[in-house]
Structure 1
Amino acid sequence: MSRPPTFVPPACARSVRLATARGEFAVLDARPPAGEPRATVVLLPGYTGSKEDFIALLEPLAEAGFRAVAVDGRGQYETEGPADEAAYAQSELAADVLAQAAALGTGGTPLHLVGHSLGGQIARAAVLRDPSPFRTLTLMSSGPAAVSEPQQQKVKLLADALAVMTMDEVWTAIQALEAPTPEDTETGTNGDRDDLRARWLRHNPAQLLATGRQLTVEPDRTDELRALGLPLHVLSGERDDTWPVPLLTATAERLGAARTVIAGADHSPNTDRPAETAEALVRFWDHH
């Protein structure tokens, strides 16, 4: 589970609802301090995550001149979603991303798309459906196909738990199983932060079940993505237990993509090393 350092957005960002042709989405919308943005960046979170996972990126991206919009997808945290798992099919979530792009892309401002983990696979599906709204795509800690076998087992355990337990009961079980972080040990919180728990309880279980299943069966669409000719960027930490880092590097080579490895980061460089991650993103966008 991603652990943003704070749920409080910086002064440059507003928590708003983005109206699209496919409904409203909760977003954090950060603007440059002066002048028109050089481009707009759409940030898609991963499995069990939310827009808050990008909070530490918003200010450095805005200061670099970009409008940065972090999105809760349907059924994630503050964006409502139905109880029907069919509503969270990857094709539906990809269509949501294209609707978000249409709502944000008015006025001819270039759009850059960034997807973290599950968000990267949804972003890939959106681009394969219609690449025209986007100037570039960055896959952040997001692999070419299904997650690693240990992660598949975790997803299955979560699905089994959701079948017989409430979200609150599952949260308690997760906290009992997770090893405390050094920060938790220092503060004595054992990871049971109120904001993380509140986020978990507002996720739609149908979304977790449907997207978790997607992570275990996703096919390799690397060749399709390369054939689009869209500028691509594969960014990750130097350690990752969801997709092995050598696999991410090999995928970047197959894609002909720019490759960035963030030193000192794990599966979530956006929260582990946000300054370095923002710098790498801006460098890639500046090149294009």
Structure 2
Amino acid sequence: MYSQLTPHRAVPVELPGHYAALRTTGDGPVVLLVPGYTGSKEDFVPLLDPIADAGYQALAIDLPGQMDTPGPDDENAYLPAALGTGLAELVEKLAADGRPVLLVGHSFGGLVARRAVLAGAPIAGLTLLSSGPGELPQGIRRQVLELGDPLLRQHGVAAAQQAQEALNRENPRWQSLSEPLREFFRARFLRNNPAALLGMARGLRTEPDLVADLSRRLRSNSTGCLVACGIADDTWPPAVQRDMADRLEADYAAILGAGHSPAVEAPEALLDVLLPTWNTWLA
């Protein structure tokens, strides 16, 4: 079983812009991994050592307001466009030594990653992992965001975590997790800046469809693109992500054995797609 607590060789570092990150050693092309809503750099740990072993340097970050990266008390700073501008600046600094940078965005992180590309991030390839063409479609995940907004505003992060805990008591999947992993999720949620939770949630409910703009930018720079998701993704349906890939003229892969989080649910199958694709882009 893989999880956010899977052992790895990466070390914690702080990147320009005060981004907390896990970094592997190596001087190969950089793979910059961007997490989703309520996520963190730890969501990628099953991938880090294999990416390094394949000759890349892996950098998994916390977005501002998440886990170990500080952020302002301004909801607007956490919309995809604002976060994308900051991410583009980070990519520019990472690429300054001439190494190619491959950008990977998971879920909400995919919305941020594409905004970074539209803001001019000098990347050698873009992977959108379990992300979508725009705002979340109607469904349970969107309903949770809508119900959580007034709770967060009136009572704060701790109250939202307690409500989440109450729901999880009825969730067999949550109950099947080890206590250390459940404690990690509790502690991580409590470390979110409340403005970040509110701003990112608003972004997930309002982000426009920017696929045409992104497609033009990728084509103008001859930048490779991959759309990948779990075959059982319950956030943006796989059919929606497949359509996005077609509109982007991108490669597409549905990962067997995975839902919304292939990096921890089926990392080996995901790597079987990622590594050959990246190698082709850089050949």
Is TM > 0.5 for Structure 1 vs Structure 2? yes
- Report the Cα offset of residue 163 of structure 1: 1.6
Counterparts of residues 236-275 of structure 1 (less than 5 Å): 236-275=229-268
User: Counterpart in 2 of 1:127?
Assistant: 117
- Report the Cα offset of residue 227 of structure 1: 1.1
Counterparts of residues 171-186 of structure 1 (less than 5 Å): 171-178=161-168, 179-182=170-173, 184-185=175-176
Distance 2:109 2:248 in 1: 18
Q: Which amino acid aligns with 1:184?
A: Q
Distance 1:200 1:232 in 2: 31
- Report the Cα offset of residue 8 of structure 1: 5.9
Distance 1:129 1:59 in 2: 30
Unpaired runs of at least 5, structure 2 = none
- Report the Cα offset of residue 100 of structure 1: 1.4
Q: Which amino acid aligns with 2:128?
A: L
- Report the Cα offset of residue 91 of structure 1: 2.5
- Report the Cα offset of residue 149 of structure 1: 0.8
Distance 2:247 2:73 in 1: 38
TM-score (norm 1): 0.90
**2:94 matches 1:104:** yes
Distance 1:30 1:211 in 2: 28
Q: Which amino acid aligns with 1:165?
A: H
User: Counterpart in 2 of 1:14?
Assistant: 11
User: Counterpart in 2 of 1:157?
Assistant: 147
For residues 197 and 123 of structure 1, do their structure 2 counterparts lie closer, same or farther at Cα, with a shift above 3 Å needed? same
- Report the Cα offset of residue 107 of structure 1: 1.9
Counterparts of residues 68-87 of structure 1 (less than 5 Å): 68-87=58-77
- Report the Cα offset of residue 259 of structure 1: 0.5
- Report the Cα offset of residue 180 of structure 1: 3.4
Note if contact 1:41-1:111 (Cα within 8 Å) is conserved in structure 2.
yes
For residues 259 and 159 of structure 1, do their structure 2 counterparts lie closer, same or farther at Cα, with a shift above 3 Å needed? same
**2:111 matches 1:113:** no
Per-residue Cα deviation, 1:157-197 (whole angstroms, up to 9, x for no partner): 1112102223222112102113434573475x4x9722111
- Report the Cα offset of residue 9 of structure 1: 5.1
TM-score (norm 2): 0.91
Q: Percent identity?
A: 38
Aligned length in residues: 274
Which secondary structure state, in structure 2, belongs to the residue aligned with residue 247 of structure 1? helix
Structure 1 residue runs of 4+, over 4 Å off?
none
Unpaired runs of at least 5, structure 1 = none
User: Counterpart in 1 of 2:216?
Assistant: 227
